[in-house]
Amino acid sequence: MELIQLHLATDQITIARALQMEAARVWNMACFVHRRICAAYHIWLGETAMNEFVKGRFKVHSQSVQAIVELYF
């Protein structure tokens, strides 16, 4: 992993932090749903099923949501 230092204005930092928090919400939802389905029904959701579940629920671009789910799996 390569770290790149960014020089952002205060308003850009606010936006970046909000996007970071929304991405964390996607990750946490994927973790929660996966554990809950597994515990209740003893099945493992696939990536496609998880993408369908989280579709349209978050304030980040759909491709970003798909990328987060892909990282989860």
Q: Residue ranges of the domains in the chain?
A: 23-72
10-68: pLDDT as tens digits: 999 999 999 999 999 999 999 999 999 999 999 999 999 999 999 999 999 999 999 99
- The pTM score is 0.84
How high is the pLDDT of residue 1? 75
How high is the pLDDT of residue 61? 94
Q: What is the C-alpha to C-alpha distance for residues 4 and 28, in angstroms, rounded to an integer?
A: 26
How high is the pLDDT of residue 38? 93
How high is the pLDDT of residue 35? 94
- Vertex 35 angle, CA 30 and 71, to 5°: 35
Sign of dihedral through CA atoms 3, 1, 68, 61?
positive
